Structure 1
Amino acid sequence: MISREDFIFAIGFEGPAAVVDGKAKKEFGKLATMELANKGLFRAAFSSALYGKNEKEMSEFIAFFNAKAGTSYTEAAQLSRLFGVYLEEIEKVQIL
C-alpha cells in the first residue's frame, strides 16, 4: 500500500501507479485529518480518515463536513462515492 501522504493527494491513476500532486503533498502532507478539513481540503481530509481506518476520526470528519456543506451524510461509503476515493492496494506512485 502507498503511504498516507501519497494516498491523500492521489489525483488519478496511470496504469498501475497512483498519480500524486507533489506540490500539495509537500505543503499539506503532514497535516492531520481535521487540520486538512479546517483548511477546506475536504477530499484530502476524507482520504486521510479513510486511510487511517479510525471510526472516531471518520465520524468527526463526517460531522464537520455536514456542518460546513449543509449535508446529512452518515457513513464513509457515501463520501467515498461523493469524492471518488476508495482504498485500493496500490504499490506504485508517480509524483507530478
Structure 2
Amino acid sequence: MKSFLRRIANRYIANEADDIGRVCFVFPNKRSATFFREAVELESDGRIRNIRTKTINSFVAGFSRAREAGRLEALFVMFKEYRRILEEQTTSSA
C-alpha cells in the first residue's frame, strides 16, 4: 500500500500535472515537505522534480510584517506571561 503522501502526489499528478508548477504545497514542517517532494518525483517517474513547498510558519509569515520569534525568545516571553498570570491569580484569590 502506498503512503499517504504518495497517494496525494499521485492524485495531483493525475489531475493537475500541467499546472503543478503553479501550485505551492503547504506542510506542517520541512520534513513532511521533503517526503512529499520525493513522493512526487517517484510517482512521476522523475518527470516532475521542482515543486514548490512551504512550511505553515513561512506561509503565514508571508502575510505579516512581524518577524517570527526564536525559540529561546518565545520561551522567555511565555515564562514572563506565565508569571504575570500566576501573580494576578494569587493576588485576586487572597
Give me the TM-score of the superposition, normalised by structure 2: 0.29
Higher strand share: 1
> Max radius of gyration: which structure?
2
Give me the TM-score of the superposition, normalised by structure 1: 0.28
Which structure's relative contact order is higher, taking Cα pairs within 8 Å and 6+ residues apart?
Answer: 1
